[in-house]
Chains A and B, each alone.
Chain A
Amino acid sequence: MEFSELIRTGQAQAELLRGPEMPPLRGTLCVTGHHLLLSPGPQATPDLWLLLLRSVDSIEKRVAGDAGTITLRCKDLRVLQLDIEGVEATLDIARSIEALSSLESVITSFPFFYRPKGLRLGEAWHFHPPERYYKRIARETRAWRLSEANEDFSLCPSYPRAVIVPRAVDDDALARSARFRQGGRFPVLSYYHAPRGTVLLRSSQPLTGPQKLRCAEDEELLRAVLAEARPGARGFIVDTRSAQAAKQARMTGGGTEAKAAYPGWKRLHRPLERGRPLQESFVRLMEACGDPEQSMDRWLSRLDGCRWLSHVKEALSTACLAAQGMEWEGACILVHGAEGTDSTLLVTSLAQLILDPLSRTMAGFQELIEREWIQHEAPIFLLFLDCVWQLGRQFPLSLEFGEGMLLALFDHSYASPFGTFLCNSEKERCLCEVRTRTHSLWSGLNQPKEQRKLRNPLYVPNPLAIWPSVEPQSLRLWQGLFLRWTHPPEPSEVAWEKVWQIATDQKTEGSQPTDSASEPQP
């Protein structure tokens, strides 16, 4: 397919409005295969404005007289308005954007064409994250092994080739367990909590169905988990659905673990919202955040009505519950909902951030995302980022990365020149050769020039678990994200610069005496 077939027009004169606090840009507008470009002429700053077409969420066009207006709603929550000269030009540009922004094909996406200076292909890809992680675990315990039963993705298309499983369970048993779990997502290790020798597992729901089927190998797998943790160890299955929803899932072939079949394991239901209701919650929050004129009462009522912060609270509470189980009860935890691909990952990744100091470092956090998250473009990933932001607010010294990192992850998860967030499974990524034909987001973010934006200048390694407060008074709306485009920039950015200065660079302080030691003495 040629992009040129989809591009209806060469160029047009247009004015771009980017929100209340940014000056409008006038210039020549054109559409390329991946971008919308506006060139305001050589004297202007910036001399080129670029928008990745993949980041366009929806487009509205209006024409009147001999001009038209295109409104673009972007996935990063921005709303852009283009006033274009000429009705035909407007319609052509709108059609081109519509066609190009909705392209499904992965391999024609921009990351496959993006070749920035200074970066080498294949760099900074965390090849085989499970293998790297297994090395860490193997230093602590012999109870777990790395299985390549999924080498050809036949057990589970959404798992990586290698997974970490109890040493006592062989690959045949894994295959049977996989057949008993939705999408083949059998219980695998997500995190080994070395201080207590307990583990966090994740899976999808068991396919018990209306006949209450059982699977001996699946039961054996979970029995082995407890046996290898310590004699008499207990386990908790954190089901991210309500008890009723889990029961109802039997009608469609799913279900939940029967108590009698899994001795030592106890089920806890912690319903978490996902999918459509979560999307709606997000949309309603964004609508509320888009209206600076509303009264205080209206704003509070909408903040309440959208329920987004309730979801934050529930997600953090459930993660705390899982973490508490491991740290305080010495128990093993298995987390799953239905498919085990959204709220499950939310809980397992947050629990790790709470317990594991390494996951709070820049490198550890990147590895955590690589290991846990397969599906990024969903409000569930945003919910995860919001929860991490709340952790960072309550423990401002304990995360090596700052708000800038979370914002960057949010932006790149929706539309990115990098390949890290392409595809929905390891299998797809391999098919598309993402790792060899695109650049890793981490190589982009780990460049020295990005660090000031992404790092937390106040970071101090904290070896302890970080238990957040989940009371409503302790949670806050993430203004840096939700009000990013509607609310004029605050002087707080200047203040943040000052924090950086104090933390890292005392030499630039104005009060510094001129005869500082760094200058050679005469």
Chain B
Amino acid sequence: MEHIRTTKVEQVKLLDRFSTSNKSLTGTLYLTATHLLFIDSHQKETWILHHHIALVEKLALTTSGCPLVIQCKNFRTVHFIVPRERDCHDIYNSLLQLSKQAKYEDLYAFSYNPKQNDSERLRGWQLVDLAEEYKRMGVPNSNWQLSDANRDYKAAICRCSQPLSGFSARCLEDEHLLQAISKANPANRYMYVMDTRPRLNAMANRAAGKGYENEDNYSNIRFQFVGIENIHVMRSSLQKLLEVNGTKGLSVSDFYSGLENAGWLRHIKAVMDAAIFLAKAIMVENASVLVHCSDGWDRTSQVCSLGSLLLDPYYRTIRGFMVLIEKDWISFGHKYSERCGHLDGDPKEVSPVFTQFLECVWHLTEQFPQAFEFNEAFLLQIHEHIHSCQFGNFIGNCQKEREELKLKEKTYSLWPFLLDDQEKYFNPLYSSTSQKLAVLEPNTVSFNFKFWRNMYHQFDRTLHPRQSVFNIIMNMNEQNKQLQKDVKDLESQIKQHKNKQTDGVLTKELLNSVRPESPALKTSLCLKEQTLLPVNDALRTIEGSNPADNRYSEYADEFSKAEPAVVSSEYGVARMTC
């Protein structure tokens, strides 16, 4: 608390990010040990977790006050105007301190207390168990002792870092290991080695004594570059993307030329193409594949996890996806704390590698709407928490560091909390039995890649569709289930009545109450009831840590009333209609 000088500022304005006429809401700003909270005059609360803050800026003083701009890692951008510069300065300084912690122990997860006892917490951590997962995949078996294989195929996905080959170095043991991998696959003696880097980068690495496998030194390998750019390129690409979509009054033309210049979708496509290459090698050629990049924890994680997702329907379930993240990301040393900038560290280590993975998954859910048990909200919630530092899962940079931090004793795991809420994350269209969707073969023509509005504008309500299909289908599904249950209950009552030899009139009455109308009429009844309910959790309900935030609550007319002389051409804001 030593960083907090001012805890409450009144008469603060929150500007609408996209309004060209500087529309704003007035309210009170509160600073707590973990959150920045803004409550506007309609009592609507905006919670911002300190750990989510990527950048705080204090702009030049204006006549209405001192502007404070906060950019968050979950792509929220807020623009406050604080009446007194003194207050603004205090808050700015506090946020600078609070958003960049020097020690792991100061992260929110170490103080977060959801009122669970030790055994509950431990059970939470055991919920996703990798040993179980390897058992599920059928390893160790006679061919495999340790590593990673795919359940249905003899072929396997393996991963490592780049070899330290330089220009001529060799390592016999490494060559033998690879030979052992290819021998472990009885179906195909050849194996692929995928280097996920662009060829030029890999060659440059040779000068530093690293590099890539020489096909001549390894027997039976086929070498392949797939050309995913490095973390620095990805970081600046995302930066460009955010600059474009943060522009006020953006034209269609600027948007598309900005998308092109940012290169973001090109990178997403490259990751996807690499995963498809991997899946095809295993599916079609039955060949094992060894995947690596430079260090083996960024691009390699992306490609291996996406490849697994394409091949194995289990990973497309809610629980399976958690396992996949634990397996291919957390346990294989994706450096979450560095990539997400959890601590005040080297900004050059920050990179949206995991965000890209989530975006690739989203693209898959768009192309295969029935193949995933979870919906978009699930992906957004996970993204929220890789940055929130509220749970221990993503803290630290590798397994070793995590054990040293005693995360399982001192923090909670995210997964049980998501599982408790899982009805929010169900995809109502999911079809677990569809054989056609056993292995996904996505089409990566350029047309298929779209800007993920619900991620990069998740807090910019005005840009979203005004009604949610998922909600209504979810509701209808629930209604249908409820009706089926009612039918069953009533039927069993009828049977009971019959057993008691009750007279037929009563049975008839009951039957009538069971099926009052035609299915069509029934549906229309459900529809009417359902749409009257406020659609509150169209995307997510947990905001940072606080479910009290009602971003999706009643959203009345903020439509700016135009001046008598000019009709405003601004249509960013509209009213909710359901």
Contacts and interface: CB of A to CB of B under 8 A. Distances in A.
B253 A304 contact: yes
A396 B465 contact: yes
A473 B574 contact: no
A499 interface: yes
A236 to B, nearest CB: 7
B414 interface: no
Contacts of A236: 567
Given A512-B484, A517-B491, A502 B253 contact: no
A491 B462 CA distance: 30
A197 B260 CA distance: 47
A309 B531 contact: no
B42 to A, nearest CB: 19
Interface in B453-495: 453, 456-457, 462-469, 472-473, 476-477, 480, 483-484, 487-488, 490-491, 494
Interface in B78-98: none
A468 B480 contact: no
A309 B252 contact: yes
Contact of B257 (A294, A304, A476, A488): A304
Contacts of B472: 396-397, 458, 460
A498 interface: yes
A297 B260 contact: yes
Interface in A445-495: 458, 460, 462, 464-477, 479, 483, 487-488, 490-492, 494-495
A502 B473 contact: yes
Contacts of B368: 491
Contacts of A517: 487, 490-491, 511, 514-515
Interface residues of A, number: 79
Contact of A458 (B266, B469, B567): B469
B165 interface: no
A503 interface: yes
Interface stretch (B27-35, B373-381, B415-423, B428-436): B428-436
A20 to B, nearest CB: 11
Interface stretch (A45-53, A136-144, A256-264, A324-332): A324-332
B500 to A, nearest CB: 15
Contacts of A266: 565
A467 B559 contact: yes
B126 interface: no
Interface residues of B, number: 80
A498 B429 CA distance: 7
B43 interface: no
Given A295-B446, A299-B447, A472-B252, A321 B574 contact: no
A307 to B, nearest CB: 7
Interface string B13-45: 000001000000000000000000000000000
Nearest to A492: B369
A519 to B, nearest CB: 10
A79 B437 CA distance: 30
Contacts of A467: 466, 559, 571, 573-575
A24 B466 CA distance: 43
Contacts of B400: none
Contacts of A397: 467, 469, 472, 531, 578
Contacts of A487: 443, 445, 447
A504 B567 contact: no
Contact of A494 (B370, B487, B571, B577): B370
Interface in B521-562: 522-523, 527-528, 531, 559, 561-562
Nearest to B485: A513
A307 B265 CA distance: 20
B163 to A, nearest CB: 31
A393 B465 CA distance: 7
Contact of A472 (B256, B443, B449, B574): B256
Contact of B464 (A296, A464, A469, A477): A469
A261 B450 CA distance: 50
A469 B577 CA distance: 13
Given A395-B465, A506-B483, A329 B562 contact: yes
B496 to A, nearest CB: 13
A518 interface: yes
A473 B453 contact: yes
B235 to A, nearest CB: 19
Contacts of B522: 506
Contacts of B462: 469, 471
A473 B561 contact: no
Interface of B: 18, 245, 250-257, 259-260, 263, 265-266, 269, 367-371, 428-429, 431, 436-437, 443, 445-447, 449-451, 453, 456-457, 462-469, 472-473, 476-477, 480, 483-484, 487-488, 490-491, 494, 511, 514-515, 519-520, 522-523, 527-528, 531, 559, 561-562, 565, 567-569, 571-575, 577-578
Given A301-B260, A509-B480, A517-B511, 18 more contacts: A299-B447, A320-B569, A321-B569, A324-B571, A395-B577, A397-B578, A462-B578, A465-B575, A469-B571, A472-B254, A473-B457, A499-B429, A499-B469, A502-B428, A502-B476, A504-B519, A506-B519, A518-B515
Query: Ordered nearest first, which 9 A-B pairs have the shortest CB separation?
Result: A467-B574, A304-B256, A472-B255, A299-B446, A300-B260, A495-B369, A296-B266, A310-B252, A472-B252
11 contacts: A294-B446, A297-B263, A310-B251, A324-B559, A466-B466, A468-B466, A470-B571, A473-B250, A498-B370, A499-B429, A505-B519
